[in-house]
Amino acid sequence: MNRTSRPPGRHRPTAVLALALLAAAGLAVPAAAAPSAAGQAGCTGQSDQPDFGPNVHVFDPSMPAATIQAQLDKDFEAQKDTQSAQFGPGRVAHLFKPGTYGIHDNVGFYTSVAGLGQNPDDIQINGDITVDAFNPSDGGSALQNFWRSAENMAVTPSSGSDRWAVSQAAPFRRMDIKGGLQLFPASYGYASGGYVADTRVSGQAASVSQQQWYTRDSALGSWDGGVWNMVFSGTSGAPANSFPNPPETTLATTPVSRDVPYLYVDSGGNYRVFRPAVRTNASGPSWANGGTPGDSVPMSQFRVVKPGDSAASINSSLDAGCNLFFTPGIYHLDQTLNVTRPDTTVLGIGYPTLIPDNGVDAMHVSDVDGVRVKGLLFDAGTQNSQALLTVGESGKHTSHAANPVSLQDVFFRVGGDQAGKATNSLVVNSDDTIVDHVWAWRADHGNSGTVGWTTNTADTGLLVNGDNVTATGLFVEHYQKFQVVWNGQNGKTVFFQNEMPYDVPDQGSWNSAPGTAGYAAYKVGAGVTTHEAWGLGSYCFFDTNPAVSSYHAFEVPQNGGVKLHSLLTVSLNHRGSITHVVNDAGAVTPDGTKPSNLPNYP
């Protein structure tokens, strides 16, 4: 994002199939009733009451509130500063066992805050789970409030409204806010988020200075505000579809969705991971009718991964049939992590950061059913990787519709911390994959020597070759060629946010074809006959050379089966231009950091 100047504003076993049928009927499934396919091959020696290590703080309602608050404050002080913590090594998680707490948790960089109940209301926070723009260097804006999360709690805000003033990679999930939700800084400064899912807000959710926002499968008392691109799917209380004036795009349901896998404590004090069922044409929080349908897996079937563990040992656990639970920390990988068994869950808390060394890819997921990857940050190493994460095999079209792979809160970074290089960040070959809340970011700022046109090199953020892939909440920024390339049939995207690269040196080095200036941000392959997307925004800020332009932000085949809705382009501070919105349609980006809007194409 431009951080300096902005305008206001995815063949089940029989037992699992039975659970799926219960879920389809809208019935909650008791966690203990559900056996797990993953892990039965022989994952042994793991504990149901594991040691999560020093970076995970587990709180119990019997603990003095002052003791809890002191730990929260200590962690925030270490993780709050944009200048020192944004690319620092700190990683932390705050986990609250069921009960009631009177605390105020300011959530800093690389911090996950989550309840350990089966449902949000099992943890009652009388106080705040909050983010604001706290640092003088931010000048009151929230443009760099990244990499933090809140999940699975009920909050009764101390002042009537909880504040979650964030930009990218800061999910707010499975929350029950008993009051209002403010998505803007207290200063009303710039913000460029964001993502809410499976959440209930009894009062008003107000975006105010948020430039774009996506809300999925939620229930709001009401909604107020929006600058360029506010998108809602399956959300009661959302405003009517009115793009571009006001700039709100509303779908009554979400085509395909699945709530995230999450850690909880059962009545015996043992840890388990709940795995929600797939929903089609969903509306409202998955837990709203008494519990989220799905199944659960005991922690004895998870390898708890800690900083210092080798890639070889992690792969050995995967081969033995274990799921993975990554604790907060930084993980250097000298070999690719290979997820080959169906129904494997790979779950991270506290932004565990996977860095591939020596040019290896960080992770490969085989073309199998039901793999879930959630809560990981893939950070490119200094030798080029072909891809940071690859799902499935190219050209293999096996249906996974009944039990898809899901990638959720999975983030990618090329540069910023080190001079990373990766040709692609995410490659999706498996059919029916759910891509739910991804930020793929080629850094535009960071530590000295980590950012530059020939320094942190990266072609494409997302490459989709699978059919029937659905993306909900897709953020892709600053890659050097096409930001997204979608070659699979029948793809769907609900909400897309993009910025083109800031540092293009000259037009001659950034033309996608002879006579075609620049690269589209979102390219649907020429052979695609069915594709649909809603709420798509692309911005340019060619700061190195404002004479640079892109012919269009969206490039699609011209046939009746490829349809785009609610599109816009913006030239930030009028640094360069985008001539058309999609293909040859739509006006050039105007001066004054104002959008060029196109309600539908064709």
pLDDT in tens, 446-503: 999 999 999 999 999 999 999 999 999 999 999 999 999 999 999 999 999 999 999 9
- Is it the case that residue 22 has pLDDT exceeding 70? no
Sign of CA dihedral 41, 44, 48, 53: negative
The whole-angstrom separation of Cα 594 and Cα 573 is 9
Query: pLDDT grade, residue 16 (50/70/90)?
Result: very low
Q: What percent of the chain has pLDDT over 70?
A: 93
pLDDT for 41 equals 53
Average pLDDT of the chain is: 93
Question: Is 317:41 a contact under the CB 8 Å cutoff?
Answer: no
Percent of the chain, pLDDT > 90? 91
Cβ(272)–Cβ(298) below 8 Å: yes
Buried b (16+ CB within 10 A) or exposed e, 80-113: bbbeebbbeebbbbbbbbbbebebbbbbbbbbbb
SS3 state of residue 439 = strand
Alpha-carbon gap, residue 309 to 332, rounded angstroms: 9
Residue with structure tokens 């990988």?
A: 333
Instruction: Determine the number of helices (DSSP H) and then strands (DSSP E) in the chain.
Output: 3, 45
Positions marked active-site: 499
Q: Which distant-in-sequence residues (6+ apart) come within 8 Å of 572 by Cβ? A: 2, 5, 6, 499, 539, 540, 541, 593
The pLDDT assigned to 389 comes to 99
Cα separation of the two ends of the chain: 29
CB 339 within 8 A of CB 361: no
Write out pLDDT tens, residues 520-558. 999 999 999 999 999 999 999 999 999 999 999 999 999
pTM over 0.85: yes
DSSP state of 498: E
What distance in Å separates the CA atoms of residue 536 and residue 526, rounded to the nearest whole number?
A: 19
